[in-house]
Amino acid sequence: MIPEACSSVVEQMADALVYADTQGRICGWNAAAERLFGFSRAEAIGNSLDLIIPERLRAAHWAAFDRAMASSATRLDGRPTITRSLTGRGETIYVEMTFAVVNDDQGKALGSVAIARDATQRHQEDRRLRERLAELEKNSQ
């Protein structure tokens, strides 16, 4: 694919794309990331990933991030996970994310890329279903 087309694909894709260097500074932030997280590209680029990570999750995030950068691989190996994220309005949302380490030709980590989509509604519906199931099980005993 030619470079201009790659740039257009990243910018126009429906899911949020966030690229961070090995120090966790945001270097890439597409239009879908602006919509999902509520921070403009100018607000995000150059800032730490802490911008979108709730404070209580930061220690675990950075431990996993540092392991991934050191090993040039992620624990989830591309499998999606649902986690919480902060928005520009100060709200916490649920996002489904996949992560990958971006490596150079020698296998050395250059940074991390994440693809994200809003999973708040799905998480809330799942929670309501679990609560309803627990209620039905309790009432059937």
User: Does the domain made of 3-139 have the CATH classification 3.30.450.20?
Assistant: yes
14-68 pLDDT per residue, tens: 999 999 999 999 999 999 999 999 999 999 999 999 999 999 999 999 999 999 9
- Tens digit of each residue's pLDDT (9 = 90 or more) over 108-122: 999 999 999 999 888
Q: What are phi and psi of 37, to 5 degrees?
A: -90, -20
**Terminal CA-to-CA distance of the chain, rounded, Å?**
61
Structure confidence at residue 120 (pLDDT) = 85
Domain boundaries, the chain: 3-139
Rounded Cα gap, residues 85 and 39, in angstroms: 12
